[in-house]
């Protein structure tokens, strides 16, 4: 096993060099999720902006979805797997507490033995991963870092829960981060608020579940994802404006300079309110992948980035604000130059 030594010279600037995604095969309509929660296609479209989402089936797992997305990112970055010095995988839905998923993804990609670890910051995980990757490269610890956001939320959401069953979907997105001659990833503005840990949570821990199982056997109810929807909505829609402004300012820009905004695809109405409050230029493209992907938590920003580029709403090199927020509560934002994606 070759030793991996830290590089001794960091890079002043970093950038997204390539992007890849994996969208599960199975498309799930609003009508399909509406039945068990006494809802309707119309209610779901109006309240969340979601038309369809995708659910993983069969061989589509956190590891296989990540691996496929990473292959696309490596291809578009024109980087070989062996050139990756570190893998950072953001997820809240890898079903094991240990070991992490990232080493299996690195192995599946034929990378040898790079450092590879999972990162848990809810829906803000991908933007946390970018911050870590960029600073690893600036500090000289790594030259190329693979950052993956991946979720299999259909396994953790209760189909009978009105607050969550219609909202979430599955998928994966990945980027290669590397050194650059000019700034391609702006400073990250991030934070957390543990007093709000209950707002989006696993509704019981595994120790509690097994105690219940010992007592009630097959009647024990497994843990599910739970969310205080209205509180999360208010917080996300109205409290993150300053985070966005700080990230834009830290990149040396004003809101009107942005060519794209890619907020976490939490809810279509939250996205609209956030964009409206920032006073963006009319030509600024606003990501709206929630329509087709639902809320895919840590995967949502790279998936939305790919949709924006694929549809031609924004081009590689465009200045885009990324802002992600969710369980923790936690949040992170940075301005990036959009990468190549093919």
Ligand X SMILES: CC(C)(COP(=O)(O)OP(=O)(O)OC[C@H]1O[C@@H](n2cnc3c(N)ncnc32)[C@H](O)[C@@H]1OP(=O)(O)O)[C@@H](O)C(=O)NCCC(=O)NCCS
What's the rounded Cα separation, in Å, for the pair 196 and 190? 16
Binding residue for ligand X (CB under 6 A) from 223, 233, 250, 253?
233
Residue 185 CB burial class (10 angstroms; 0-12, 13-18, ≥19): buried
What's the rounded Cα separation, in Å, for the pair 107 and 111? 6
CB of 235 to ligand X, least distance (A): 9
What's the rounded Cα separation, in Å, for the pair 79 and 35? 46
- Per-residue contact track with ligand X, 124 to 143, x per CB under 6 A? --------------------
The piece of 147-155, 162-170, 248-256, 313-321 that touches ligand X (CB under 6 A) is: 162-170
Binding residue for ligand X (CB under 6 A) from 230, 282, 283, 312?
230
Binding residue for ligand X (CB under 6 A) from 326, 328, 330, 332?
326
Binding residue for ligand X (CB under 6 A) from 88, 127, 232, 261?
232
Applying CB under 6 A, does 270 fall inside the site for ligand X? yes
Catalytic machinery residues: 123, 264, 295
Closest CA to 18 of 83, 64, 62: 83
Applying CB under 6 A, does 266 fall inside the site for ligand X? yes
Give 178 or 268: the residue with its C-beta nearer to ligand X: 268
Return the sign of the alpha-carbon dihedral for residues 155, 158, 160, 164.
negative
CA–CA distances in Å: residue 336 to residues 55, 56, 180, 205, 258: 29, 29, 12, 37, 10
Place of tokens 């199975």: 26
CB of 286 to ligand X, least distance (A): 16
Q: Do you know the residue count of the chain?
A: 342
What's the rounded Cα separation, in Å, for the pair 145 and 101? 16
Applying CB under 6 A, does 163 fall inside the site for ligand X? yes
Q: Cis bond leading into 97, ω under 30°?
A: no
Residues 21-80 that bind ligand X (CB under 6 A): 37, 39, 43, 47-48
Applying CB under 6 A, does 224 fall inside the site for ligand X? no
**Beta carbons of 17 and 340 less than 8 angstroms apart:** yes
Angle at CA of residue 35, ends 31 and 38, nearest 5°: 115
Give 231 or 253: the residue with its C-beta nearer to ligand X: 231
- Per-residue contact track with ligand X, 234 to 253, x per CB under 6 A? --x-----------------
Give 229 or 316: the residue with its C-beta nearer to ligand X: 229
Give 25 or 239: the residue with its C-beta nearer to ligand X: 239
Give 122 or 184: the residue with its C-beta nearer to ligand X: 122
Applying CB under 6 A, does 9 fall inside the site for ligand X? no
Applying CB under 6 A, does 295 fall inside the site for ligand X? yes
Binding residue for ligand X (CB under 6 A) from 177, 185, 227, 261?
227
| 168 bridge partner residues | 295
What's the rounded Cα separation, in Å, for the pair 189 and 147? 18
Applying CB under 6 A, does 274 fall inside the site for ligand X? no
Applying CB under 6 A, does 159 fall inside the site for ligand X? no
**Beta carbons of 9 and 140 less than 8 angstroms apart:** yes
Q: Which residues bind ligand X (CB under 6 A)?
A: 37, 39, 43, 47-48, 123, 162-163, 166, 227, 229-230, 232-233, 236, 266-267, 270, 295, 326
């Amino acid at each position: 096993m070759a030793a991996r030594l830290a590089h001794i010279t960091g890079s002043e600037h970093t950038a997204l060099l390539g992007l890849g995604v994996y969208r599960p095969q199975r498309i799930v309509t609003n009508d399909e999720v509406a039945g068990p929660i006494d809802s309707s296609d119309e209610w779901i479209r109006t309240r969340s902006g979601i038309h369809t989402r995708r659910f993983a089936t069969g061989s589509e797992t956190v590891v296989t979805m990540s691996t496929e997305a990473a292959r696309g990112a490596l291809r578009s970055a024109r980087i070989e797997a062996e050139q990756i010095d570190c893998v950072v995988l953001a997820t809240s839905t890898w079903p094991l507490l240990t070991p992490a998923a990232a080493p299996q993804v690195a192995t599946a990609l034929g990378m040898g033995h790079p450092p590879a670890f999972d990162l848990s910051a809810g829906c803000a995980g991908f933007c946390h991963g970018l911050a870590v990757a960029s600073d690893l490269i600036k500090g000289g610890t790594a030259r190329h870092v693979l950052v993956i956001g991946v979720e299999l939320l259909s396994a953790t959401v209760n189909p009978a829960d009105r607050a969550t069953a219609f909202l979430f979907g599955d998928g994966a997105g990945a980027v290669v981060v590397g050194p650059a001659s000019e700034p391609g990833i702006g400073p990250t503005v991030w934070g957390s608020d543990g007093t709000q840990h209950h707002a989006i949570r696993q509704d019981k821990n595994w120790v509690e579940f097994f105690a219940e199982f010992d007592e009630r056997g097959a009647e024990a109810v497994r843990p599910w994802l739970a969310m205080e929807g209205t509180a999360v909505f208010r917080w996300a829609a109205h409290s993150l404006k300053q985070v966005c402004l700080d990230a834009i300012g830290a990149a040396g820009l004003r809101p009107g300079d942005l060519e794209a905004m890619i907020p976490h695809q939490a809810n279509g109405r939250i996205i609209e309110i956030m964009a409206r409050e920032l006073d963006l230029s009319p030509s600024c493209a606003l990501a709206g992948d929630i329509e087709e992907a639902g809320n895919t938590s840590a995967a949502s920003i790279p998936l939305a980035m790919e949709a924006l580029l694929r549809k031609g709403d924004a081009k590689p090199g465009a200045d885009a604000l990324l802002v992600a927020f969710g369980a923790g509560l936690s949040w992170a934002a940075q301005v990036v130059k959009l990468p190549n994606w093919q």
